[in-house]
Amino acid sequence: MLNITFILPDKNKITVAANEGDSLMQTAVDNDIEQISGDCGGCCSCATCHCFIDDKWKDKMLLADDMETELLEGAIDNMQENSRLACQIFLSKEHDGLVVHVPESDW
Amino acid sequence: MSCIIIGASHAGVQAAANLRRQGYAGKVTLISADNVLPYQRPPLSKAFLQNVLPEQKLWLRPDTFYQQKDIDLMLGKRVTNIDRDQRTVSLDDMQCLSYDKLIIATGASIRRLTVPGSDLSGVHYLRDYQDTIGIRDSLKHANNVVVIGGGYIGLEVAASLQKLGKNVTLLLKHDRPLSHITSNVVSDYLTQRHTTHGVNIQLNVVVTEIIGVDKVLAVETQNGQRYQADMVIAGIGVVPEQQLAEQCGLEVNNGIRVNEYMQTSDHNIFAIGDCSSFYHPVYQKQLRIESVQNATDQAKTASTAICGQFVPYSATAWFWSDQYDDKLQTAGLSEGYDEIVIRQETEKSLAVFYLAQNQLIAVDTINQPKSFMISRKYIHNLPKVNKIILADKNQDLNSAFTEIAGV
Q: Are residues B254 and B358 in the same domain?
A: no
Q: Are residues B250 and B361 in the same domain?
A: no
Longest dimension (CA), chain B: 67
Q: Are residues B297 and B184 in the same domain?
A: no
Q: Are residues B335 and B228 in the same domain?
A: no
**For position B404, what pLDDT does the model report?**
75
**For position B240, what pLDDT does the model report?**
98
How many C-beta atoms surround the C-beta of residue A16 within 10 A? 16
B247, part of any domain = yes
Task: Sort B319 into a burial class: Cβ within 10 Å, 0-12 / 13-18 / 19+.
Answer: buried
DSSP B112: P
* B214-242 per-residue burial string, b: 16 or more CB within 10 A, e: under 16: eebbbbbbeeeeebebbbbbbbbebebbb
Mean pLDDT within B64-78: 97
Q: Are residues B153 and B244 in the same domain?
A: no
Mean pLDDT within B148-177: 97
CATH number at residue B288: 3.50.50.60
B374, part of any domain = yes
pLDDT digit string (tens) for B264-301? 999 999 999 999 999 999 989 999 999 999 999 999 99
B368, part of any domain = yes
B70 has a pLDDT exceeding 90: yes
DSSP B90: E
| CB-based contact A41 B40, cutoff 8 Å | yes
**For position B405, what pLDDT does the model report?**
58
Q: Which of A68, A71, A33, A46 is nearest to B316 (CA)?
A: A46
Q: Are residues B344 and B296 in the same domain?
A: no
Q: Can you give the residue ranges of every domain in chain A?
A: 2-101
CB-side neighbour CA atoms (13 Å) of B274: 20
Q: How far is B40 from chain A (nearest CA, A)?
A: 7
pLDDT digit string (tens) for B223-266? 999 999 999 999 999 999 999 999 999 999 999 999 999 999 99
Residue in chain A nearest B315 by alpha carbon: A107
Q: Based on the structure, what is the number of domains in chain B?
A: 3
pLDDT digit string (tens) for A64-77? 999 999 999 999 88
| CB-based contact B40 A67, cutoff 8 Å | no
Cβ–Cβ < 8 Å for B276, B256 = yes
The superfamily (CATH) of domain A2-101 is Beta-grasp domain (3.10.20.30)
Mean pLDDT within A15-21: 95
B383, part of any domain = yes
Mean pLDDT within B92-113: 97
B85 has a pLDDT exceeding 80: yes
B34, part of any domain = yes
Q: Are residues B219 and B260 in the same domain?
A: no
Q: Are residues B65 and B134 in the same domain?
A: no
Q: Are residues B94 and B203 in the same domain?
A: no
Long-range contacts from A25-28, C-beta under 8 angstroms, 24+ separation = A25/A49, A25/A85, A25/A86, A25/A87, A25/A89, A26/A87, A26/B57, A27/A86, A27/A91, A28/A86, A28/A102
Type and span of the H or E element at B257: strand B256-257
| CB-based contact B369 A74, cutoff 8 Å | yes
Residue in chain B nearest A72 by alpha carbon: B370
pLDDT digit string (tens) for B317-361? 999 999 999 999 999 999 999 999 999 999 999 999 999 999 999
pLDDT digit string (tens) for B22-47? 999 999 999 999 999 999 999 999 99
State whether residue A71 sits within 8 Å of chain B by CB. Answer: yes
Say how far apart CA A47 and CA A67 lie, in whole Å.
Answer: 11
Q: Are residues B95 and B179 in the same domain?
A: no
Q: Are residues B23 and B136 in the same domain?
A: no
CATH number at residue B387: 3.30.390.30
Residue in chain B nearest A29 by alpha carbon: B61
B317, part of any domain = no
Which value does ipTM take for this structure?
Answer: 0.93
Say how far apart CA B237 and CA B4 lie, in whole Å.
Answer: 28
Residue in chain B nearest A30 by alpha carbon: B61
Chain B positions in Cβ-Cβ contact with residue A29 (cut-off 8 Å):
61
Q: Are residues B380 and B397 in the same domain?
A: yes
**For position B403, what pLDDT does the model report?**
84
Determine the Cα angle at B233 with ends B232 and B235, to 5°: 145
Say how far apart CA B152 and CA B222 lie, in whole Å.
Answer: 24
Q: Which domain range does residue B385 map to?
A: 325-402
B152, part of any domain = yes
**For position A105, what pLDDT does the model report?**
81
Cβ–Cβ < 8 Å for B148, B138 = no
| CB-based contact A32 B69, cutoff 8 Å | yes
Kindly report the average pLDDT of chain B as a whole number: 96
State whether residue B26 sits within 8 Å of chain A by CB. Answer: no
